[in-house]
Amino acid sequence: MSIIKNICQNNAGISEHLQFIRFSKGFFENRFYFKVKNGKKLKIFSGFENVNDLIKIIAENEKELLDIKGKVFSKKDFHKFFENKERKKGFFVGEINKSISHLEFKELYDLFKDEYLLLNIKSNKFSLKTNSSLHNPKGTYKAKFAVLETSDIGCIKDEFLFDIDKNFKEIEIKHDILVTEIIIPDQYKDNPEEARINAKRKGKIVRKINLDGKEEQMEINFLV
C-alpha cells in the first residue's frame, strides 16, 4: 500500500517512519500532494513524497519492457544496475539509462524502495517523469515534482484514492500534518542524530479532498 494509505488506515511501518524523519514538531501544510485529471488517460501530478509509491505501482503492474532513465540517491553503497556512480553530499548516486525487463525493474524497486528514486520511465502502460534534483526542504514545495500518465485507473484508486467512491473529472488531495510530540527511545536520548532517526512522531493529518470543486476533509491521528 502507499505510504499515505498506510498512515490513514493505521498500518504505518518502516517506510512510513522513514518519510516522517524529516518532520520536527510543528505544522506542515499541503504535503503528500496528489492531483488526478481523468480523461482518455489519467494524468497525475504528485509531490515528492509519493514518487516511490508511483514507481511501486509501475513495478507491480507493468509486465513488458521498460525504458528507465534517471538517478537513485542512496545512503548505502550499491553497484548493480548503474552505469555510473558517485558520492555526493552524503549520498551514493547511481545513474541508469537503459531498457530493462519488468522482473529487473521489480528487483530494482525492491532493493531501493526506501531510497530516493528520481526516474523517468516509459513503458506499455505507464509514462512517469520526475524532477531531476532532490526535494530541497528549505525551498518551495513542488506540487508537480512528478507527472504520471496511465490508463490503469484501478491501481491508482486503490493506492491513492482509497476513500473515494465517486466518479470524477478532476480530484486534488492535500494533507496538513501536525506533529504534536516526538517520542525518543531512552537508548537514543544522548545521541541527537540517532534520536532524530529513531524517534517516533505523533500527531494528526488533515486529508483535504477537492472533487470537481466540492471540498471535504477528514482527520487521522498517527504515530510513526
pLDDT the model gives residue 79: 65
Q: What is the largest CA-CA distance in the chain?
A: 56
User: Percentage of the chain surpassing pLDDT 70?
Assistant: 98
CA distances from 59 to 42, 102, 206, 216 (A): 18, 7, 29, 32
> Cα–Cα distance between 185 and 194 in angstroms, integer?
10
State the average pLDDT over residues 10-27: 93
pLDDT the model gives residue 80: 65
3 state SS for the chain: CCHHHHHHCCCCCHHHHHHHCCCCCEEEEEEEEEEEEECCCEEEEECHHHHHHHHHHHHHHCCCCEEEEEEEEECCCCCCCCCEEEEECCEEEEEEEEEECHHHHHHHHHHHCCCEEEEEEECCCEEEEECCCCCCCCCCCCCCCEEEEECCHHHHHHHCCCCCCCCCCEEEEEEEEEEEEEECCHHHCCCHHHHHHHCEEEEEEEEEEEECCEEEEEEEEEEC
How many residues are listed for the chain in this entry? 224
Per-residue pLDDT band for 52 (boundaries 50, 70, 90) equals very high
Q: Nearest-5° angle of CA 202, CA 207, CA 213?
A: 165
8 Å CB contact between 163 and 218 = yes
Q: What is the pLDDT of residues 180-199, one digit of tens each?
A: 999 999 999 999 999 999 99
pLDDT the model gives residue 77: 73
3 state SS for 72-116: EEECCCCCCCCCEEEEECCEEEEEEEEEECHHHHHHHHHHHCCCE
pLDDT the model gives residue 78: 73
Examine the pLDDT at 108 and tell me if it is beyond 70.
Answer: yes
pLDDT the model gives residue 88: 75
Per-residue pLDDT band for 47 (boundaries 50, 70, 90) equals very high
pLDDT the model gives residue 139: 86
Question: Average pLDDT of the chain?
Answer: 93
> Cα–Cα distance between 149 and 180 in angstroms, integer?
37
Per-residue pLDDT band for 73 (boundaries 50, 70, 90) equals very high
Per-residue pLDDT band for 214 (boundaries 50, 70, 90) equals very high
Q: What is the pLDDT of residues 86-96, one digit of tens each?
A: 777 778 899 99
Q: How far apart are the first and last CA of the chain?
A: 15
pLDDT the model gives residue 1: 83
